[in-house]
Chains A and B, each alone.
Chain A
């Protein structure tokens, strides 16, 4: 989705995170600049240890920023107090890699969803309206609300849990959704559903989605813009086609070369096939 007028949604200048100090300091994220535009699906791709998750935690306000500024909707982000943090989280939400540890095991599914309605200020709505909203959220992610009401999250499968997570996001309607490897713990078959739902959130609600992954194929399939991260820095960014089909940075080329492909197999496996 390339609009002519792209509205800046989340941006950062010189964002840095350093763990430890002195000789033991580790620079996890090293002076990164980024501009994420509204209504786009942005992928951040990198290997393990490249600082993807640290960056996400900083964007969410879960860890402090050592240096640099983050701007949210054109204004400098202020999360100095608990109230301000709460306000900020109305605009930015996240889904994580492990759906199994994302829920409170003591609350039932309907109360998980009800909490979201209350967070959006719907505490005083009539009960029938609340149920209608929950039903709508469940149908958005192809879950049957009537089968869900009396269950606990751990009674669902991994894919269903992740879908319920998306139903929460649907009710909360944040401006930005951070998705930290949401498909890496679920099967290839359910993966398609999750990806479709993220695309649906982008297209139907106009949500900005920041998608973290280590899988180039996935990133290529879903994203508008791709950022490649190496050792805490962005080495390259651009549209998905630019980055995947015509990479410029050495690191991106290396990464693409090492990924198993089906139309262009690795040199040693191709040799093997031709002699077989």
Chain B
């Protein structure tokens, strides 16, 4: 087993609304990311994927609040650091974040090189202009971006180009972990492929060590990541390798989610799509029992009342279900 780059233990965070109500958006999430590997997070909208990504940066600002848990990056626990220290010492060098509309983050009145200067100077105020330029040019070259992009304004670039530029700018300090929150869902398929290729290059070249990739598009997740983690109603419900999760999901929710994959490949037309009935629970007052129980067709009375911990299974999988692997497989076979 290679070195662990990011370790998260029992992380819980909440939002406090204007009416002073608590919304528990991430509850007791624990996982590890190894060096050189990428982790995918899947789930429907509102399940806490993006909140988890924000929480992982250790940089909390209202309405997001930290409750408990550890975030250990390369041996350093950043969860209990002061926001200012996190901003100065962690963001950009240890961990970097790319939101979905990253391309809108570029100020239209400034050239791309200025953003790179800003990022570097925030960590090293005395950096020389020439050194910054050399670093930027070198980095753009290995990532197959034209050097003259550095002298352009954001409006002169296309959507896919802007997104790739933002990724190059935010990883200029070689962060250990890159969190990509739906970096390609606003793009066309052709630009999407270019963005994903670039993320792969970053990892292959060792510029970033590990990546956390968030998307609701499962075929894309399969192409990008080594491990996939499925979230439901702020909790982690199942983790496993990409192959296990896409072709052999265990948890009834993951099973439903993977059953909704539609790809333009032979056999897609013979698939019978099955929708999961119902809606996710209200996270202001999450239920005690299994959060998926009201929508699960295998649920029993016990599921509704018993609190269900996440269980370690064989071959490094984890699943949050009261039933054993054999029982679940029997349910699916009976169908």
A residues contacting B by CB (< 8 A) are: 47-48, 157, 187-193, 195-196, 214-221, 240-241, 244-245, 254-256, 258-266, 268-269, 272-273, 276
Contact = CB atoms under 8 A, between A and B. Distances in A.
Contact of B220 (A218, A220, A260): A260
B180 to A, nearest CB: 15
A260 B223 contact: yes
A264 B188 CA distance: 20
A269 B223 contact: yes
Closest 7 CB pairs of A and B: A217-B262, A192-B273, A192-B275, A216-B264, A187-B44, A260-B219, A193-B275
Contacts of B273: 192, 195-196, 221
Nearest to B187: A48
Given A187-B44, A192-B274, A192-B275, A269 B224 contact: yes
B279 A220 contact: no
B5 to A, nearest CB: 16
B197 A261 contact: no
B189 A255 contact: yes
Given A214-B188, A220-B268, 10 more contacts: A187-B216, A189-B257, A217-B263, A217-B268, A221-B262, A261-B264, A262-B219, A262-B263, A264-B265, A265-B222
19 contacts: A157-B279, A187-B45, A188-B257, A192-B275, A217-B264, A219-B264, A220-B268, A221-B268, A221-B273, A240-B269, A244-B264, A259-B189, A260-B196, A260-B223, A261-B219, A261-B264, A262-B222, A263-B265, A266-B193
B266 interface: yes
A259 B188 CA distance: 10
A203 B243 CA distance: 36
Given A157-B279, A187-B216, A262 B261 contact: yes
B298 to A, nearest CB: 17
Given A48-B188, A187-B45, A269-B223, A258 B193 contact: yes
A254 B262 CA distance: 19
Contacts of B265: 261-264
Contacts of A273: 226, 242
A215 B257 CA distance: 17
Nearest to B189: A258
B246 interface: yes
A268 B133 CA distance: 30
B279 A196 contact: no
Q: Which of B217, B219, B222, B275 has the most CB of A within 10 A?
A: B275
Nearest to B225: A269
B144 interface: no
B188 A47 contact: yes
Given A192-B273, A192-B275, A216-B264, A258 B197 contact: no
B30 interface: no
Contact of A260 (B217, B266, B276): B217
A8 B45 CA distance: 40
Contacts of B218: 188, 262
A47 B264 CA distance: 15
B137 interface: no
Contacts of B222: 260, 262, 265
A263 B268 CA distance: 11
B283 to A, nearest CB: 14
B33 to A, nearest CB: 14
B256 interface: yes
A209 to B, nearest CB: 16
A255 B190 CA distance: 7
Contacts of B247: 262
B1 interface: no
B229 to A, nearest CB: 16
A259 to B, nearest CB: 5
Contacts of A192: 259-260, 273-275
A264 B268 CA distance: 13
Contact of A190 (B189, B200, B242, B275): B275
